[in-house]
Amino acid sequence: MTTLAEVAGQLKQAREAAGLTQQELASRAGVNRLTVGRMENLVNGDMSVSALVRLLEAAGYDIKVVKAGHNRTLEDILAEQRSGREGP
């Protein structure tokens, strides 16, 4: 399972990949810049899921649920089945 520390790191990577500062991301997501910093550094040892979703969306990312030990999402598998091709 992905740890909160890994999620925090992924949030920071998503922000940096989008070429955004913490302030720019916060403005796009409608949250305070301190919220971004706290979530990227897990200051409170926890994070708001709703804020995480808004921040990732503002950086151009989406959250996908993947079964442990697998790389493809349920959406990937269904799309492969609809197109008639097999997955990896």
In degrees and rounded to multiples of 5, residue 18 shows phi and psi of -80, -5
pLDDT per residue, tens digit, the chain (88 aa), is: 578 999 999 999 999 999 999 999 999 999 999 999 999 999 888 899 999 999 999 999 998 877 788 888 777 888 888 887 655 5
Q: What is the pLDDT of residue 85?
A: 65
Q: Tell whether 72 is covered by a domain.
A: no
> What is the DSSP code (8-state) at residue 52?
H
Domain count, the chain: 1
pTM of the full structure: 0.76
User: The domain containing residue 43 runs over which residues?
Assistant: 4-62
What's the CATH number where 35 sits? 1.10.260.40
Q: What is the pLDDT of residue 88?
A: 57
Q: Tell whether 77 is covered by a domain.
A: no
Q: Tell whether 83 is covered by a domain.
A: no
Closest CA to 11 of 45, 60, 44: 60
Q: Tell whether 13 is covered by a domain.
A: yes
Report residue 87 as tokens: 């997955």
Q: Tell whether 16 is covered by a domain.
A: yes
Q: Tell whether 56 is covered by a domain.
A: yes
Classify residue 73 by burial, with Cβ atoms within 10 Å: 0-12, 13-18, 19+: middle
Q: Tell whether 15 is covered by a domain.
A: yes
Q: What angle do CA 81, 85, 88 make, to 5 degrees?
A: 100
